[in-house]
Amino acid sequence: METWKTLPESWYVPCLASLETLQELCRKENLRCKSIGITNRNLKSYEVEYLCDYKVDEGTEYYLVKWKGWPESSNTWEPLKNLKCPLLLQNFLSDKNEYLSRVKEGKALKVKNHVKALKPAVADYIVKKAKQRIALQRWKEELNRKKNHKGMILVENTVDLEGPPLDFYYINEYKPAPGINVINGITTGCECSDCPAEKCCPKEAGFLLAYNKRKKLKIQPGLPIYECNSYCRCGPDCPNRIVQKGTPYSLCIFRTNNGRGWGVKTLQKIKTNSFVMEYVGEVITSEEAERRGQLYDNQGNTYLFDLDYDSDEFTVDAARYGNVSHFVNHSCDPNLQVFNVFIDNLDLRLPRIALFSTRTIKAGEELTFDYQMKGSIDLTSDSADGLSPSRKRIRTVCKCGAVCCRGYLN
C-alpha cells in the first residue's frame, strides 16, 4: 500500500537573482511585472547603467552603453553628445587611465589620450570595474539596511577587482549553534533611577562601574563590564548602557594595498577609551572550533575568538556570520582592546566581546586589534612543538607592519 504525503498548497523558493537581473529577463521576453517595477510605462525606458567601450568613427566619439535593466545583448553605441551621465563618463575615463598607468615589468605604460578605439583588455577592465562598483554599492546598501546601530557603513576598493564576499552574512548579535543559549540568566535588574547607585548592576556583580561621567572606559583590561539590562529600571540614557547601543561611529570597509584583504577604517575621530564595535558571529563549542580552525588555517583565515573569560567551552566564529568586526585586521601594535561584557546574560562562559579604543584614533585611520589576546595559547616555535598533533596548526605570517611585529598571527 502506497503512502502519500500531503503537500502544502504553495511552495516558496527564495530567488537569488538580483532585481536588475529579473528586470533584464522581463525586458528580454517583453514581459510586464509590477512587483519588480516593469510596467507598460517603463518597459521600453532606457537609463545608462555604465559605459563599456569607446571608439571614434568619422570624427565622432562613441561610447558602448550598458542600459540599466536590459541584457548586455541590448548594448548600443551612442554618440557622446547624447549622453547625459557626467559621473559615469568620469568613472570610465578614470578606470581607463588607471589601467593604462599601471606599472608593467617595472615600466609605466604611457597614457594615450587620443585613440580611435580601446584595446579589448582595456575595455574588459573598464567593464569589470563598473560591475564591481555596482556590486559594492549594492553591498553597502545591504549592510546599512541590516545594521541596527547609529553609524553608517561605507565600502571602498581602489586596489583591485575584488567584489563583496560571496559567503558572508551580516548579523548584529550572536548566532548560537543548536543547543547553546546566549540569552540566559537575567530575571531582575537594578532599581536605580539615576545610575550608578549603591545597588547598580556592576556593584551587585562585585565589580566597579566600567564608565566615567563622559561615558568613556575607566577600568583596566582583563576586568569585566557589567551593563544595565532589559529588566533594569533606568532608561535608555543611562550612563551604564554603552555597548548595547551599538557602534556610534561611521566606518568604512576598505581593500588594503599590502595583501591583508579587507580592512576597516574609521571615518570619524575616536577618543581614547571609547567603545567602537562589538565582535559577533556564530557561537560554537570549542570542539567544533578546533575542527573549523584546522580548515581556516589551511585557507590562511583567522576568525575564531575563544570565549575564555571563565572557561574555554565556547568560541565565536565570525567567518560566515558577523558584523563589521569580521573585516578588522590584526596588528601587533593595535588601537583597539578587547573587553568581556555582560548585559542580558550573566553566564560567565558566554560574555559579549567589545572593542574599545586604546588611544585617540584619527579619521581615516585603520582599526586593528591583537588576534593573540592576553590569555591565549602562545604559539611560538618552542611552545608549538609541545602541542599535541590535533592542536598543531599551520602558522600564518603577520603583515601588520608594526615595529614590534611578532611575525605570525597564530
Q: Where are the alpha helices (DSSP H) in 47-119?
A: 86-100
Any binding-site annotation on 252?
A: no
Any binding-site annotation on 234?
A: yes
From 170, 226, 321, 371, the catalytic residue: 371
CA-nearest of 357, 164, 175 to 277 is 357
Active site residue 211: no
> What is the total residue count of the chain?
410
Any binding-site annotation on 371?
A: yes
Q: For cell 533606568, name the residue.
A: 234
Q: Which residues contact 306 (CB under 8 A, 6 or more apart)?
A: 286, 289, 312, 314, 315, 376
Any binding-site annotation on 4?
A: no
Query: E strands, 69-184, where?
Result: 76-79, 103-104, 107-108, 153-156, 169-170, 175-176
Any binding-site annotation on 232?
A: yes
Task: Mark 114-132 as b/e (b = at least 16 C-beta within 10 Å).
Answer: eeeebeeebbebbbebbeb
- Write out the three cell numbers for 255: 581593500
CA distance 246 to 249: 9
Any binding-site annotation on 190?
A: yes
Any binding-site annotation on 386?
A: no
Active site residue 279: yes
Q: Which residues contact 265 (CB under 8 A, 6 or more apart)?
A: 251, 252, 254, 364, 365, 366, 367
CA-nearest of 324, 323, 319 to 305 is 319
Residue 279 pairs in a beta bridge with 353
CA dihedral 222, 226, 227, 230 (to 10 degrees): 140
Any binding-site annotation on 262?
A: yes
- Write out the three cell numbers for 210: 566600567
CA distance 195 to 191: 9
Any binding-site annotation on 201?
A: yes
Any binding-site annotation on 15?
A: no
Any binding-site annotation on 85?
A: no
Which amino acid is located at 259 in the chain?
Answer: G
Any binding-site annotation on 192?
A: yes
Secondary structure (DSSP) of 23-55: HHHHHHTT--BGGGTB-TTTTT---EEEEEEEE
* 367, 278 contact by CB (below 8 A): no
Any binding-site annotation on 67?
A: no
Q: For cell 563598473, name the residue.
A: 130
From 211, 226, 279, 296, the catalytic residue: 279
Binding-site residues from annotation for Zn(2+): 190, 192, 195, 200-201, 228, 232, 234, 238, 332, 398, 400, 405
Residue ranges at the known binding site for S-adenosyl-L-methionine: 260-262, 329-330, 371, 399
Active site residues: 279, 371
Q: Which residues are annotated as a binding site?
A: 190, 192, 195, 200-201, 228, 232, 234, 238, 260-262, 329-330, 332, 371, 398-400, 405
